[in-house]
Amino acid sequence: MNAHLAPSHIVGIGASAGGLASLEEFFKAMPTDSGMAFVLVQHLSPDFKSLMDDLLARHTKMSIHRVANGQELEANAIYLIPPRQVMTIADGRLYLQERVGQHLILPIDIFFESLAGAANNKAIGIILSGTGSDGSRGIQAIHEAGGLVLVQSLESAQFDGMPRAAINTGMCDYVTTPGEMPTILIEYAQHPDVMQAAKPELHIVWDEGEFAEIFAHLRRSYSLDFSKYKPSTVERRIARRLGFHHMQKLSEYIKLLADDPQELDSLYRDLLIGVTEFFRDSAVFAYLEREVIPALFRDAVPDGLRVWVAA
């Protein structure tokens, strides 16, 4: 018996109202041998019997699975979230937890945030047609982890609430139709520049003049000086942007920054998100729990302890 083939990338797809047509268009154009795994998170009524697996089977030869708790992901397969469940991912496996109570739960955000932590730069988030804003927080986590974010264009979505909320975050790498997304995914996975740009160990060799020119563009537009940022962080973020544009030279990218305000904004946002890595550092929080918090309460006796949380 052949061992399971682990996926090269894990693609989380969030969809709600109007999402079926978008999913059919997407999988009709998606090659069956991409090496990726596709995890679909939909808004499903607790009493709704989904026929999604039967409907998608008309458009793809990939195997389709209704997720079982602890199920291992395989390449070239599609996974569907069951009704009444919240899904997360860890160590290449999908885990389910039953939804309880009537309070608002955002299953796409929950899965995408989990995916960002589990797959890092191998995570891909896609937002398709739907109402509300579920997924908009999750794509930010994927973007911050170095993954790829695609969103369905507003004009092609039957319901544009979810795509619009995602686009408004400014964290989308591509906004396009579902039928065009597979081409982007394949190129992203296979293009060496893109893949190399996401690697933490990458170091770009350039002179101070090129650094200064990029920082000058950012300073003029945003009144913010990035020249004091950690060099390795700046290098990774700029390398990521070069990869998306298939560029080899910084001089080409500097010209693009001068000509394209949208790209300048994308670089600006990419540089800003590095600070949030602290909040995903489990070792830091473990140290706070073990050393800092107990010491605060120990030293507070008998005068008490005041805690201020900034809004």
Both 53 and 181 in one domain: the answer is: yes
Is 136 inside any structural domain? yes
Catalytic residue among 22, 34, 43, 109: 43
Q: Which of 155, 190, 225 is the last residue before a domain boundary?
A: 190
Both 252 and 106 in one domain: the answer is: no
Is 234 inside any structural domain? yes
CATH (domain of 137): 3.40.50.180
Both 295 and 150 in one domain: the answer is: no
Both 132 and 195 in one domain: the answer is: no
What does the alpha-carbon distance between residue 204 and residue 167 come to, in Å, rounded to a whole number?
30
Both 269 and 176 in one domain: the answer is: no
- Contact yes or no for 8/122 (Cβ under 8 A): yes
Both 72 and 158 in one domain: the answer is: yes
Is 2 inside any structural domain? no
What does the alpha-carbon distance between residue 306 and residue 311 come to, in Å, rounded to a whole number?
16
Both 249 and 286 in one domain: the answer is: yes
Both 173 and 229 in one domain: the answer is: no
| pTM (whole model) above 0.75 | no
Catalytic residue among 9, 16, 129, 266: 16
C-alpha dist (Å) from residue 85 to 47, 264, 281: 12, 40, 27
Is 4 inside any structural domain? no
Residue 132 Rama label (left phi>0; alpha psi -120 to 50; beta)? left
Catalytic annotation on 221?
no
Measuring CA to CA, which residue among 176, 174, 139, 140 is closest to residue 157? 176
Is 5 inside any structural domain? no
Say if strands 71-72 and 93-98 run parallel, antiparallel, or are unpaired: antiparallel
- Contact yes or no for 76/61 (Cβ under 8 A): no
Q: Which of 190, 225, 259 is the last residue before a domain boundary?
A: 190
Catalytic annotation on 203?
no
CA quadruple 107, 113, 116, 117: dihedral positive or negative? negative
Residues near 152 by beta carbon (within 8 Å), at least 6 away in sequence: 22, 126, 127, 128, 129, 163, 175, 176, 177, 178
Give residue 200's pLDDT: 42
Give the structural domain span for 42.
10-190
Residue-by-residue pLDDT tens, the chain, 311 positions: 345 799 999 999 999 999 999 999 999 999 999 999 999 999 866 555 567 888 999 999 999 999 999 999 999 999 999 888 999 999 999 999 988 766 778 999 999 999 999 999 899 999 999 999 999 999 999 988 889 999 999 999 999 999 999 988 878 888 899 999 999 999 888 864 454 444 444 445 567 888 899 999 999 999 988 888 877 778 778 887 887 777 778 888 999 999 999 899 888 887 876 545 555 555 667 778 888 888 888 877 777 888 888 75
Q: Which of 190, 206, 236 is the last residue before a domain boundary?
A: 190
Give residue 49's pLDDT: 54
Catalytic residue among 22, 34, 133, 134: 134
Both 69 and 179 in one domain: the answer is: yes
Catalytic annotation on 193?
no
Both 282 and 159 in one domain: the answer is: no
Give residue 132's pLDDT: 92
Both 186 and 266 in one domain: the answer is: no
Both 78 and 154 in one domain: the answer is: yes
Give residue 273's pLDDT: 61
Looking at the 3D structure of the chain, how many domains does it have?
2
